[in-house]
Chains A and B, each alone.
Chain A
Amino acid sequence: MDLENQRRVLDLTNEYGAENVIVVLGAAEGEAAGLAAETVTAGDPTFAGPLAGVQLGLRVYHCCEPEFKNEVDSEIYDEQIGMMEMVLDVDDIISEMSAIRDEFTKY
């Protein structure tokens, strides 16, 4: 996750409280999604950004995961994400994301 986005996640969490923040990712690959999820839960694994050593433990989902998909208007979902869902390896993304959540999410 780039340094600017790490800063924004940290600022929003400080402002609204970690229990009120959910991060929604749109990464194109399981590995990249997992890294971003790890950053907002266990801290920046590259130790380069504002979240280095900061364990926010936020709830984090990929936009192709059922937890997110079931919460939004299916027509808009199809219009905005339908095509990418066809292209992405959704199972791999779900397994990466679930593993990170199981281990690090506190809420």
Chain B
Amino acid sequence: MFPVLKAASYVLMHTPDMVLNNGTTQTTERIVNPESEYLKKVNENLRPFEEIVSYPPNQCYIGNITPEELATYEMPWYDKAIEGATAHGKKGEIFEEDVFLAFIKASDSFDLVLLEKDFTESVRPKLEAYPGLNAKASTLPAGIELEKITTEIQNRGAEPLLYKGEVVGCVKRAHDIDVNLNAHVIFENLVVKASGMIAMERLFVLNNIDPASIDYVIECSEEACGDMNQRGGGNFAKALAEMTNCVNATGSDTRGFCAAPTHALIEAAALVKSGVYKNVVVAAGGATAKLGMNGKDHVKKGMPILEDCVAGFALLVSENDGEHPILRTDLVGGHTVGTGSSPQNVMSSLITKALDKGGLKITDIDKYSVEMQNPDITKPAGAGDVPQANYKMIAALGVMRKDLERTQLNSFVEKHGMVGWAPTQGHIPSGVPYCGFAIDDIMSGKIHRAMIVGKGSLFLGRMTNLFDGVSIVVENNPGIQVEEGSVSKEEIRKMVAEAMSNFAASLNQ
């Protein structure tokens, strides 16, 4: 039996202070051009929390509006607001920066995060709203004096934590000389842990899932944790499981740049299909390095800096319940070493390789979930509309395979595609943002079948020039069917009854 895609959650952390202090576009600028006009304009181009909440793509990310509803808003979207929008989503939540800093402290297992005492008291009650965090995480220790924090930052290389431009805490280094445990790395890793942790917490709470039922967690973000002897040793997954009371779970980290979430989804499906585990969570935290990545272009065009949120997500893959959409582990595509790098080879390996295994046409997939990057962010930066470009390529592939006519190219894009809504946090927009909607759309009968496609730019790691990507088909659950050659419960009952009566008869003889 195929495993099912049971639930999904999506979270956003509004982190305007981290845009300036931790986004690599800004930190690089500070090194090469400290007096730059751009750096002076960063703060005045940051959005307040209310605008983050009412921003249509963010409402789509947390599940309050569908991609179809988002498409009804005329672009650009940054000057549009959804009336009455709330930070609480059907599938997740948007958090203010002070709450996120509390999550960072809550996820600190080694006393590396220091928060100022008044700030601590102001955020302490806010943690109570998240019952899925473990008891230790939801009880913040008392904060400390600001002077001690300043001393750590000035004398011991601690990374400052800011809120509304003021220092309210810091992340200390975890070792004197180990670069993999310096304050910067620990900070980035705690951001992953805190955002991944709250994505899992929301997954469990919003969907009434008992964390004790989880057997395994796969974390698939783009950071690495470890020390100087094992730089990417791991294990974020186990840390997330610990924070969210998954007492019966272990886990491991999967990496593959932006393709990692789809790799992890396929791995989770395989683990459940094989019977190794019954419930596997795929989760990821976000990256501060990518905050404000296209900020220079946004500012140049008089726009707000739109990459102002750290994101996270979590998915649950479970054994077949006869209801939720099934993950077709027999319809998996992937870019292999021998595929080559031309766009049509890449697209064929990802799209048609999976379809061919099931004798399906390109038009048999109702919705393709590709790199669902928000075009409001990418278009002004000259990177175009990423989902749109992907849909055009899939359509062109369909024309080359004669699955559709050339004249149907645009209508295919319209019908089988979607507008992008996910923040440009690398792995976050890749394939998985639609999983939550896919569950709803397939279960309501709106669509029959979707394909989740993840792609990754491996060359950035300088170990291979190869491209990478994988895909998997998700479709409606036909219900649990008794497999041919197997025995039904009724038959077993009959056999047992017969054996018992034969046994009784033998006793009477």
Chain A: residues with CB nearer than 8 A to chain B?
28-29, 31-32, 35, 48, 79-84, 86-87
Contacts of B382 in A (CB 8 A): 29, 31-32, 35
**B400 closest partner in A (C-beta):** A83
A29-B384, A32-B382, A86-B399 known; A80 and B389 CB under 8 Å?
Answer: no
Contact assessment for A83 and B343 in the assembled complex, using a CB-CB cutoff below 8 Å: yes
Of the listed residues B342, B347, B383, B409, the one surrounded by the most CB atoms of chain A closer than 10 A to its CB is B342
List 11 additional contacts besides A28-B384, A87-B393, A87-B396; criterion CB under 8 Å.
Answer: A29-B382, A31-B382, A83-B393, A83-B396, A84-B393, A84-B396, A86-B396, A86-B400, A86-B409, A87-B389, A87-B392
- Digit string of B386-416 for contact with A (CB within 8 Å is 1, else 0)? 0001001101110110000010010000000
Give A86 to B343 CA distance when docked, in angstroms. Answer: 12
**B66 CB-CB contact with A under 8 Å:** no
Residues in A with CB closer than 8 Å to B400 are 82-83, 86
A31 to B297, CA, bound (A): 14
A residues near B343, Cβ cutoff 8 Å: 81, 83-84
B 406-431 binary contact with A (CB < 8 Å = 1; else 0): 10010000000000000000000000
Nearest chain-A residue to B28 (Cβ)?
A: A48
Mask, B124-155, CB within 8 Å of A = 1, is 00000000000000000000000000000000
Min C-beta distance of B296 to chain A, whole Å: 9
Interface centre among B344, B395, B399 (most CB of A within 10 A): B344
A83: B residues at CB distance < 8 A: 343-344, 347, 393, 396-397, 400
Assign chain B's interface to a size class: 10 to 19
Q: Establish whether residues A84 and B344, one from each chain, have CB atoms under 8 Å apart when the complex forms.
A: yes
Q: Known contacts A28-B389, A86-B396, A86-B399: does B384 contact A80 (CB below 8 Å)? A: no
Q: Which residues of B contact A28 (CB under 8 A)?
A: 384, 389
Measured between beta carbons, the chain A residues less than 8 angstroms from B409 are: 86
With a cutoff of 8 Å between Cβ atoms, the chain B residues found around residue A31 in the complex are 382
CA distance A86 to B409 in the complex (A): 10
User: What is the minimal beta-carbon distance from B398 to any residue of chain A, in angstroms?
Assistant: 10
Please give the residue numbers on chain B whose beta carbons come within 8 Å of chain A beta carbons, in ascending order. Answer: 32, 342-344, 347, 382-384, 389, 392-393, 395-397, 399-400, 406, 409
Can you report 25 residue pairs joining A to B where beta carbons are below 8 Å apart?
Answer: A28-B384, A28-B389, A29-B382, A32-B382, A32-B383, A32-B384, A48-B32, A79-B344, A80-B342, A80-B344, A81-B342, A82-B400, A83-B343, A83-B393, A83-B396, A83-B400, A84-B343, A84-B393, A84-B396, A86-B396, A86-B399, A86-B400, A87-B389, A87-B395, A87-B396
Neighbour of B342 across the interface among A32, A35, A48, A79, CB < 8 A: A79
Cα–Cα, bound, A55→B384 (Å)? 28
Q: Chain B residues with Cβ under 8 A from A81's Cβ?
A: 342-343
Chain A residue with the shortest CB-CB distance to B296: A46
Distance, CA A95 to CA B385, complexed state (A): 21
Q: How far is the CA of A32 from the CA of B392 in the complex (A)?
A: 18
State how many angstroms separate the Cβ of A50 from the closest Cβ of chain B.
Answer: 14
Residues of B within 8 A of A82 (CB): 344, 400
Shortest distance between the CB of A96 and any CB in chain B (Å): 12
Which of chain B's residues have a CB closer than 8 A to the CB of A48?
32
Task: List 3 A-B pairs, minimum CB-CB distance, nearest first.
Answer: A83-B344, A80-B342, A86-B396
Which B-chain residue is minimally distant from A46 (CB atoms)?
Answer: B296
Docked complex Cα distance between A84 and B396 (Å): 8
Distance in angstroms from B350 CB to nearest chain A CB is 13
Residues in A with CB closer than 8 Å to B395 are 87
C-alpha gap A86/B400 in the complex (Å): 10
Contacts of B399 in A (CB 8 A): 86
A48 and chain B: residue at smallest CB distance:
B32
B386 CB to nearest A CB, Å: 10
Output the nearest chain A residue to B391 by Cβ-Cβ distance: A87
Q: Report Cα–Cα, A31/B381, bound state, in Å.
A: 10
Taken together as a complex, chains A and B put the C-alpha atoms of A65 and B112 apart, in Å, by 57
Cβ of B342: which chain A residues have Cβ within 8 Å of it? 79-81
Distance in Å: Cβ of A1 to nearest Cβ of chain B: 12
Q: Which residue of A lies closest to B392 (CB)?
A: A87
Cα A107 to Cα B382 with chains together (Å): 29
Bound state CA distance, A48 and B382, in angstroms?
A: 17
Question: Which residues does chain B contribute within 8 Å of A86, judged by CB atoms?
Answer: 396, 399-400, 406, 409
Bound CA span A86–B383, Å: 19
A86 nearest in chain B by CB position = B396
Q: Give Cα A48–Cα B383 distance, bound, in whole angstroms.
A: 19
* Whole-angstrom CA separation of A57 from B324 in the bound complex: 60
Nearest-neighbour CB distance to chain B for A66, whole angstroms, equals 19
Please indicate the chain B residues that have their CB under 8 angstroms from the CB of A84 in the complex: 343-344, 393, 396
CB closest chain-A residue, reference B409: A86
Name the distance in Å between B38's Cβ and chain A's nearest Cβ.
12
Q: Closest residue of chain B to A84, judged by CB?
A: B343
